[in-house]
Amino acid sequence: MKHCSSCGKIIQPEDTFCSYCGQQQPVVAHKTGVSALVLVLVFVGVMLVGGGGILFAMALSSSETGTRDATATEEQTATTPQNAAVADAPTNASEPSPADVPESPPTDAPEPSPTDAPEPLPTDGPDLEATLAALEKDALQATITALEAENSAAEAARVAEPPGVNRPPIQGRSSWGAVEPISAMTSQTPDRIMLSHEAESCCDGVDPRDRIYSIQQAHMNRNNWNDISFHYIIAPDGTIYEGRNPGFQVESGFSGPPHYQNVNGMIAIGVLGNYDIQQPTTASLRSIEQLMAWLCQEYDISPQEIHQWRDMTTSSSPGASMPGSTTFRQNVSNLLQGNW
């Protein structure tokens, strides 16, 4: 007969848990007699049979020790009924059986053939040197081809786009002592160029700047114009001077009777001198063409819109010795195309 160590109820001697309160019962060793017997047998074995008896006794002792250890392990790993139920319950993390694992679908890609593998590069000897030389040659040829294509593209772009014309040197109004316009002038959008001359001999022994100042005074005081009429003035030595702002219309005797010319959009270039009786200098002709080319580029004016007063009036301006409009148009077109 055995009592529960917790609630005191009578339980069976072999019960390890109380059937009333569920408390685990202390383990009581029952192997003492067997252990004593083992010791006696060991002693007798030593005395009677010597070494053979020792081996027999050790085997018997080992068997008894294993039996005792197994019993203790079973008792220590025992759990309560509730925990045993939990331990026996199946878990969700069960490993899938081979039948539950889907097979991978076959691929359409064929297995590479041994003949498809690239040939290995040589690692030494003449074959390696030949291979490296061939690779260097191919790389050099590829570089040359790329550079040639790049140069061809650059050349095509250069041909397609004219190089442009630089603004020629122009002396400002202050260089010849200009006075401010008398009053507001009529604005315009430049769309053509008109070449004329001063119609007075110039400029031996005369400072062109003084001459231009005199022209402004005559235009403002005698003709009652707001400013000097010319937008640009060119001296025989090729110097270009700034006159009226090209954003304002020219005031000219050609706009009234008997000519009645429309001056709106016109840029007037006046050359100092009278070219019915004197020859234009090479320097002045070059400046005329450079100025015309830059104006065409600046205001998007066609070279065909270069004119002279003698083309549309009874005047001889800019003088019989001055090249005609056709010559200036051709030379200006060449300048705009980069040909001089």
Write the DSSP symbol of residue 98. G
Output the six-digit token pair for 67: 């039996």
pLDDT in tens, 206-253: 999 999 999 999 999 999 999 999 999 999 999 999 999 999 999 988
When pLDDT is cut at 50, 70 and 90, the band that residue 112 belongs to is: low
More confident residue, 271 or 256: 271
What pTM was estimated for this model as a whole?
Answer: 0.54
Contacts of 294 (CB under 8 A, 6+ apart): 165, 166, 167, 168
- The domain spans of the chain are 2-78, 170-336
- Rounded CA-CA distance 108/96 in Å is 28
Helix runs in 161-178, H state only: none
Phi first, then psi: give them for residue 184, nearest 5 degrees. -65, 145
More confident residue, 117 or 126: 126
Low-confidence winner among 74-83, 160-169, 298-307 (lowest mean pLDDT): 74-83
Q: What is 170-336's CATH topology?
A: Lysozyme-like (3.40.80)
- Rounded CA-CA distance 196/90 in Å is 113
Bridge partner residues of 308 (DSSP): 195
pLDDT in tens, 123-172: 666 677 777 788 888 888 888 888 888 887 777 665 555 578 999 999 99
β-strand 192-197 against 170-171: which pairing, if any? unpaired
Question: Where are the extended beta strands (E) located within the chain?
Answer: 2-3, 10-11, 170-171, 192-197, 232-234, 240-242, 266-271, 306-308
Q: What's the whole-number mean pLDDT along residues 76-100? A: 45
pLDDT at 57: 43
Q: Are 188 and 249 in contact (CB under 8 A)?
A: yes
Contacts of 82 (CB under 8 A, 6+ apart): 22
- Rounded CA-CA distance 200/275 in Å is 9
Q: What's the whole-number mean pLDDT along residues 15-28? A: 73
Query: For residue 69, is pLDDT > 70?
Result: no
State the residue for tokens 């630089």. Answer: 166
pLDDT at 296: 98
* Percent of the chain clearing pLDDT 90 (strictly above): 45
Q: What's the whole-number mean pLDDT along residues 296-318? A: 95
Helix (H, G, I), strand (E, B) or coil at 179: coil
Helix runs in 161-207, H state only: none
Q: Could you tell me the CA-to-CA distances from 228 to 173, 224, 243, 246 in Å, in that order?
A: 11, 10, 7, 12
pLDDT at 304: 98
When pLDDT is cut at 50, 70 and 90, the band that residue 53 belongs to is: very low
Bond prior to 112 in cis (omega within 30° of 0): no
Q: What's the whole-number mean pLDDT along residues 91-98? A: 48
Q: What's the whole-number mean pLDDT along residues 289-305? A: 98
Q: What's the whole-number mean pLDDT along residues 319-338? A: 96
Low-confidence winner among 11-15, 80-84, 329-333 (lowest mean pLDDT): 80-84
